[in-house]
Amino acid sequence: MSSNAITQLSGFAHLEDLPCFVLTCGQATAVISSYGAHLLSYKPTAEVEVIYLSPKAAWQNNTPIRGGVPVCWPWFGPVAAEFNPAAQKLPNHGVVRTELWQLVTQSVTGSAVSIEFSIETKALPYSDAPSYLSLTLQLTETALTLTLNSDQGIQQAALHSYFNVDSVHQVSVSPLSGDYLDKVQGGGRFVQTQAELKFTAEVDRVYLNTADELTLDQQSTAVQIAQLGHDASVLWNPWTEKAAALKDLPDTGYLDYVCVETARLDLSNKAPLQLVQQIRYLA
């Protein structure tokens, strides 16, 4: 008999009273909150946690959760002028990370478990029309897949995934050769000739036109990150000084994760959004 299931949970880790759902498929589990449709945990087995969640993360008082997989939409980073014609004070990474999403559907079969959340924004700073956004999480015994859909035209989006690592010094991500925008160096455009990125200092890069599959390698394990509907991948680690300045991250927390984010950032693309990230752990 299959033990696959979806159960509700109030609170996860130190995040008290947070509305959550636990998905179980074979040995694999995932935890997602309706607050921000935010993935908090993915364990392909009971002993392995793929996703990093800051032990100092908070969610009360409209606080974005540090770690997991935040949904960034309809803009990425600081709001650009295209999204903010009235020059309002608006949060980084959009308007849905600190909202409660609605549960749409749940599905449990012998081979997969899935859950879908949606949110309708009544208005955006650049549009009076309501907008619909949905996130579907599918868990199988071998992979976790996040699919973000929207009916909006002008938009940016990212699945801002924090990956748990034993040490940032032992991590590489590949293939990442080609053009990238470096926010550490004022947003300048550079070309990477090596096939992989290693972390030896602060990294805040937007790699353009990246492959449909990236690999995060550690010494004895790897995570494959498949992505569709993207035009960029964002690589981020704040390193020492910026980590110490973040109140919701331990001073040494930068050692424990890297962000490999699947993103759609080109504003000339007016097609409806479908952004997919699939995570597969390789022992």
User: pLDDT of 109-129, one tens digit each?
Assistant: 999 999 999 999 877 888 877
Q: Which of 160, 202, 213, 241 is catalytic?
A: 160
Q: Which of 38, 116, 230, 261 is catalytic?
A: 261
**Residue 66: C-alpha distances to residues 22, 133, 145 (Å):** 19, 22, 20
**Residue 211: C-alpha distances to residues 77, 99, 133, 187 (Å):** 22, 32, 25, 21
Average pLDDT for the chain: 95
User: pLDDT of 162-211, one tens digit each?
Assistant: 999 999 999 999 999 899 999 999 999 999 999 999 999 999 999 999 99
- pLDDT at position 86, please? 86
Q: Is 261 a catalytic residue?
A: yes
Q: What residues pair up with 125 in beta bridges, in sequence order? A: none
Local confidence band at 1 (pLDDT 50, 70, 90 cut-offs): low
Please give the average per-residue pLDDT across 44-53, as a whole number.
97
**pLDDT of residue 48 exceeding 80:** yes
- pLDDT at position 130, please? 78
What's the rounded Cα separation, in Å, for the pair 138 and 221? 23
Name the residue with higher pLDDT: 276 or 125.
276
Lowest-confidence range among 149-153, 191-195, 238-242, 255-259? 149-153
A 10 A CB-CB count for 112 gives 16
A 10 A CB-CB count for 179 gives 14
User: pLDDT of 71-84, one tens digit each?
Assistant: 999 999 999 888 88
Local confidence band at 225 (pLDDT 50, 70, 90 cut-offs): very high
Name the residue with higher pLDDT: 90 or 222.
222
Burial label for 261, CB within 10 Å (0-12, 13-18, 19+), is: buried
Task: Show the domains of the chain with their CATH numbers.
Answer: 5-282 (2.70.98.10)
- pLDDT at position 83, please? 86
- pLDDT at position 125, please? 84
Q: Is 160 a catalytic residue?
A: yes
